[in-house]
Amino acid sequence: MTILTHEELLSVLSEDYYLNKLSFGDISKKYNISRYLINKYLNDAVKNGIVKIEISTITKRNPQLETMLADKFKDIHFYIIRDGENDITTSKELSQSAATIAEKMFKNNCKIVGTSWGEAIYSLVDSLHGFPLESVKFTQFMGENMKYNSTAGSMRMVEKIAAKFSSEFLTLPAPLYIVNNQIRQGLYAEPSIAHTLAVAKKMDVLLTGLGTIRSLQSIPIWKENLSKIFPYLDMSRVAGLIYGRPFDINGNILNINNDKVLGISLEEVLATPRRFCLVRSKSKTQAILGVLRGKLITDIILSETLAYRVLAELNL
C-alpha cells in the first residue's frame, strides 16, 4: 500500500470530498480514518491553500447540473463545464478540465491506463501536463481504427500519451475490426497481441470518446464494409458507438452476438474501475443518453449546453 505524505493526504481527501462528492462515511471507510480527522484535515487543506486550488477548478464547473444528472444516473460521476464565450473556448476548457481530471486518476494508485482514439481524446492528451509516471503503463485495448489521414489514430495516441509521462506503452498491431472469425481468433494467439491484451485486461482507467455511425463512415475501409462489420444490424437503432461497439438509446449493445472487434471483450472493458468519457460535440445527445442508461462509462465530462440537452430529452 502506498504511504501518503500529509500534504498528499490533504489533497486526496479534498478531491474526494469537494470534487468526487464522497460523504464523510465513504471517506472514513476508504482511508480508515475517523470523521473527526476528516473534518480536521479538510480544514487544514483550506489553511494550506490546497482547497483554494481546487476551488479554481470548481468555478469552471456547474455543480447544480452535476447534482441533477447524478440524481438521475446513480454511480456515474459528472463533470459539467460552464460554457465559454464561444464553441472554441468551450471545447478548449473541456479538454483542459478533462486533462486535469485524468491526471488525478493516474496519480491515484493507477498502474495501467487504456486509451482509445478520436479528436476528443487527442485534445485531452494534448492538454496533459508532462510529469514522470514511471510506474504507469499506457496501452491500447482494441485494434487500430485505420484513420491514417488523422493525427488522432489509436496507435499514435498511446505513444503520445506515454511520452507525456515518460512511461511504457503497448500497442495492438492489428485493425479494430476483423470480420473473419477464425482469423480474429487466430490473432489472439499471436504473442505481441496476446501480451498487450493481457495487460489491457488489468486496466485501472480507460479514456474514451463517443462515436457515431457517421464517424465510422468517415474511414473509407470501414464505410465500404459496414454490412460485414455489423451483420444483421438495424442502423436506425444505433444511438452511438463506444469501444468499437454500436448501442441503442437505452445503452444496449446491438451486436453482442456478432462482435468483430479485435480487443478485450466488452465484459472485460466494463470491468475497468474508471471509464472516463469526454464528449465535446453538441450532436451526441442521443449517444450520451445511451451510455448513461447502459452504464457503459463511470465518469463523463460535458459542457453546460450538452447537459441541458440531456436533461431536456429526459423530461420529454
Give the C-alpha separation, 139 to 85, whole Å. Answer: 36
**Residue 55: predicted pLDDT:** 39
Do residue 47 and residue 9 come from a single domain?
A: yes
| pLDDT higher than 90, residue 111 | yes
**Residue 182: predicted pLDDT:** 96
Local confidence band at 108 (pLDDT 50, 70, 90 cut-offs): confident
Measured from the Cβ of residue 123, the count of other Cβ atoms closer than 10 Å reads 20
| pLDDT higher than 50, residue 141 | yes
* Domain assignment of residue 217, given as a range: 60-314
Lowest mean pLDDT of 14-28, 98-112, 144-158, 287-301, name the range. Answer: 144-158
Instruction: Answer with the one of 58, 78, 107 that is the final residue of a domain.
Output: 58
Do residue 262 and residue 280 come from a single domain?
A: yes
**Residue 59: predicted pLDDT:** 53
| pLDDT higher than 60, residue 220 | yes
| pLDDT higher than 60, residue 198 | yes
Q: Residue 18 is placed in which grid cell?
A: 469537494
**Residue 121: predicted pLDDT:** 92
**Residue 109: predicted pLDDT:** 84
Instruction: Kindly give, in sequence order, each residue whose CB lies less than 8 Å from that of residue 84, ignoring residues fewer than 6 positions away.
Output: 90, 92, 93
Q: Are 270 and 297 in contact (CB under 8 A)?
A: no
More confident residue, 147 or 8: 8
Local confidence band at 172 (pLDDT 50, 70, 90 cut-offs): very high
Do residue 3 and residue 93 come from a single domain?
A: no
Local confidence band at 52 (pLDDT 50, 70, 90 cut-offs): low
Do residue 192 and residue 287 come from a single domain?
A: yes
150 secondary structure, DSSP code:
S
Give the C-alpha separation, 117 to 210, whole Å. Answer: 10
Give the number of domains in the chain: 2
Strands (E), the chain: 77-81, 112-115, 137-140, 168-170, 205-208, 240-242, 245-247, 274-278, 299-303
**Residue 56: predicted pLDDT:** 44
Do residue 23 and residue 106 come from a single domain?
A: no
Do residue 77 and residue 123 come from a single domain?
A: yes
Local confidence band at 153 (pLDDT 50, 70, 90 cut-offs): low
Lowest mean pLDDT of 40-44, 179-183, 245-249, name the range. Answer: 40-44
Do residue 44 and residue 116 come from a single domain?
A: no
